[in-house]
Each structure stands twice: as C-alpha cells, then as structure tokens.
Amino acid sequence: MTATIIDGKTIAAELRGKVAFEVAQLKREHGVTPGLAVVLVGQNAASEVYVRSKSKAVVEAGMTPSDHKLPETVSEAELLALIDKLNKNKAVSGILVQLPLPPQIDPQKVIAAIDPAKDVDGFHPVNVGRLSLGLPALVPCTPSGCIMLAKMVWPSLAGLDALVIGRSNIVGKPVAQLLLAENATVTVAHSKTKDLPALARRADLLIAAIGKAELVRGDWVKPGAIVIDVGINRVAGDGGKSRIVGDVAFDEAVKVAGAITPVPGGVGPMTIACLMLNTLRAACAQNGVKAPR
Ligand code: NDP
C-alpha cells in the first residue's frame, strides 16, 4: 500500500480561485480592491523569485500589487519610514517585508512597525499573541497551509497525536498553536529532543519543518499517519544538477504513511495561496466587510 499524495498544487490553485472569486465580489459589492505591498531589500536571488511569484499571484487574484525594492545599503530608518507610509495608505491592505534583511536592520523592529491589521505574514507580536490566546488573528501562511492540507485528508484533527519537528517562529511554533486550536495533542520537537524517531513513531500527524534533507526516515513514520513536509532543501542530483527534497525521505515514507505531501508541490504552493487569503481577509476587516472563512 502506498500513501495518498496530498496534491498541494491543485489545492492551492483551488484556494487562489476562491480568493479571486471573493475579491471580485468585494469589488462589485463594496468598491474595495485589496492591495498587497511587498518590500524587498537588497538582491537575494531566492527572495526575488518569491517576490515575483507573489506579485503574479496578486494580479491573478484581482488584487493590486505594489513592489518596493530598496538597496542593500538602505538604513533601518528609511525602511521604517516606508512602512509608516504603507501603514497610512488606504489602498494597501497587506504589507509583507521579505526576510532575511541585511545586518544593519533589526527584523523584529521592522515587523513591529507594521500595522497589525496589515501584517499578512502574521509575524507581528500582536498577531502572534492573538493566535496563542485563541483570538482571531492574521495567521502565518505556511502553517495555515499545513493545517489546510492535513484537513483535506482528515477533516477533524481533534484528538490526534501530532508531532511538529521544528520550533521556529515562522513555522514550528505557529503550526503547533494552530494544531492546539484544532484540538490535537501536540508535541514540539527540536534539535535537543531525545529519541526523535521513537517520538515520531507515535504521531498520527507528523509535520516536519526542520531544514534538513530527508532527516525523517520511513521507519520513523507510524503506519497510516499523515505526513506534512515543510522542508525545502537543495541537494546534488544526477548529472551535476541539483534538485529539491523535503525533510522527509519521501520514497520511504510514502510506503508507510496514510497520506503525505510531496516536495515540491505540497506545502510550498499553499504558502502563496494563504498569503492571498490573508490579504483578502485584511482588506475585508479594514473595510468592515465580513471576511470569507
Ligand atoms: P529554522 O532553521 O528556523 O528552524 C528549524 C527547526 O528545526 C529548529 O527549531 C531546529 O531546532 C530544528 N532542527 C534542526 N535540526 C534538527 C534535528 N536534527 N532534529 C530535530 N530538530 C531539528 O527553519 P524554518 O522553520 O524557517 O524552516 C524549516 C524548513 O521549512 C526549511 O527547509 C525551510 O526552507 C522550509 N520552509 C518552507 C516554506 C514553504 O513555503 N514550504 C516556508 C518556510 C520554511 P532548534 O530550535 O533546537 O535549533
């Protein structure tokens, strides 16, 4: 038996289509067009690729993109001044500052400067706090995507033993909060965790957000478990070419799991789709319109 492959590409395309439908309705009925401002500092090839695909998705969703490219040498004060301008601009519903930032800029200071109502990345301390309090919040995109994918194959996560490997502020911690909100029993593992394979073997739902190529082996996976692989790791492939693999040894895990996300084509596409959803939700909230679920 092999696992069900959770097709993130198709699920993300459906979500983006739903967002586009809601955006058209928001325009028609309320005269509101959501706008996403993306701020990119310096020249990081990977960041530039992300920013381009975000802008494309914004346009496809019928929203207004505004890209702000700043030089590598920009001062923290200049970046904060731009954020202040974007906070005050009514046409901007969401603000995203692409990380990492150059060393002269404190990322926490920048995140804290974004109006929490426009914090579509969900990284502002107000949104982080609201999520942990179980209050409505703008929730980080990759974690939201993980939960949506898991619920595609198992609509109620209540009572499941969930293991999150990784405790970053961007993925591990918020995914754990979301799982708690879904009434799963949550364990969070990290680099100091003892006997990770044994812990993993108990998990009905395993979310790997580690950044270590194929660390999770097939014999770590509980038979029938749902495996969500967040990792994006570039490794040497055939003929001197590189290829992308996840944090889970897919070929092994697919023979044991009940359902599994591939890399690429699993969690990755969901991140941008959830960003579109967050931008729509932010625009609705800023205009007193009931947001779609
Ligand atoms: P971080 O490096 O910030 O965090 C990695 C976490 O994994 C840390 O908590 C670390 O533990 C833990 N860890 C590292 N090694 C081990 C180990 N041997 N055993 C157990 N735990 C370990 O990474 P991110 O959370 O930002 O990203 C994780 C992965 O997800 C990366 O591959 C990244 O590229 C990918 N990613 C994918 C996205 C997508 O859209 N699909 C979006 C964001 C990230 P400790 O805290 O103790 O150091």
Q: Are residues 155 and 204 in the same domain?
A: yes
Q: Are residues 108 and 159 in the same domain?
A: no
Q: Which of 148, 230, 271 to probe ligand 1 with, by most ligand atoms within 8 A of CB?
A: 230
Secondary structure (3-state) at 260: strand
Residue 79 has pLDDT above 80, yes or no: yes
Tell me the pLDDT band of 6, cut-offs 50, 70 and 90.
very high
Domain presence at residue 134:
no
Q: Which pLDDT belongs to residue 293?
A: 73
Tokens of 152: 């595609």
Asked if 110 contacts 76 with a C-beta cutoff of 8 angstroms, the reply is yes
The verdict on whether 43 is a catalytic residue reads no
Active-site residue, from 115, 119, 121, 247? 121
Distance (angstroms) between ligand 1 centre and the Cα of 248 equals 12
Q: Are residues 60 and 177 in the same domain?
A: no
Q: Which pLDDT belongs to residue 265?
A: 97
Q: Are residues 89 and 165 in the same domain?
A: no
- Residues of the domain holding 97: 31-117
Q: Are residues 154 and 218 in the same domain?
A: yes
Tell me the pLDDT band of 10, cut-offs 50, 70 and 90.
very high
Q: Which of 191, 233, 234 to probe ligand 1 with, by most ligand atoms within 8 A of CB?
A: 191
Domain presence at residue 223:
yes
Q: Are residues 217 and 166 in the same domain?
A: yes
**Residue stretches of the annotated binding site for NADP(+):** 166-168, 232
- Beta-bridge partners for 70: 41
CB burial string 27-44: b at 16+ within 10 A, e below: eeeeebebbbbbbbbbeb
Q: Which pLDDT belongs to residue 169?
A: 97
What's the mean pLDDT when you consider all of the chain? 97
Asked if 8 contacts 270 with a C-beta cutoff of 8 angstroms, the reply is yes
Q: Which pLDDT belongs to residue 37?
A: 98
Q: Which pLDDT belongs to residue 85?
A: 98
Q: Are residues 103 and 59 in the same domain?
A: yes
Tell me the pLDDT band of 47, cut-offs 50, 70 and 90.
confident
End residue of a domain, out of 117, 132, 158: 117
The verdict on whether 84 is a catalytic residue reads no
Domain presence at residue 263:
yes
pTM, full prediction: 0.97
Domain presence at residue 2:
no
Domain presence at residue 258:
yes
Residue 13 has pLDDT above 90, yes or no: yes
Domain presence at residue 290:
no
**CATH number of residue 153's parent domain:** 3.40.50.720
% of the chain with per-residue pLDDT over 70:
100
Domain presence at residue 1:
no
Closest CA to 179 of 202, 209, 156: 156
Q: Which pLDDT belongs to residue 68?
A: 96
End residue of a domain, out of 61, 85, 117: 117
End residue of a domain, out of 84, 117, 150: 117
Q: What angle do CA 210, 219, 186 make, to 5 degrees?
A: 50
pLDDT in tens, 119-175: 999 999 999 999 999 999 999 999 999 999 999 999 999 999 999 999 999 999 999
Q: Are residues 75 and 164 in the same domain?
A: no
Tell me the pLDDT band of 45, cut-offs 50, 70 and 90.
confident
Q: Which residue has the tokens 């492959």?
A: 5
Q: Are residues 107 and 153 in the same domain?
A: no
Domain presence at residue 274:
no
Closest CA to 70 of 92, 102, 95: 102
Q: Are residues 111 and 196 in the same domain?
A: no
Tell me the pLDDT band of 1, cut-offs 50, 70 and 90.
confident
pLDDT in tens, 87-116: 999 999 999 999 999 999 999 999 999 999
Q: Are residues 93 and 149 in the same domain?
A: no
**CATH number of residue 80's parent domain:** 3.40.50.10860
Q: Which pLDDT belongs to residue 199?
A: 98
**Mean pLDDT over residues 194-205, rounded?**
98
Domain count, the chain: 2
Q: Are residues 165 and 263 in the same domain?
A: yes
| Strand pairing category for 226-229 and 205-208 | parallel
Q: Which pLDDT belongs to residue 164?
A: 99
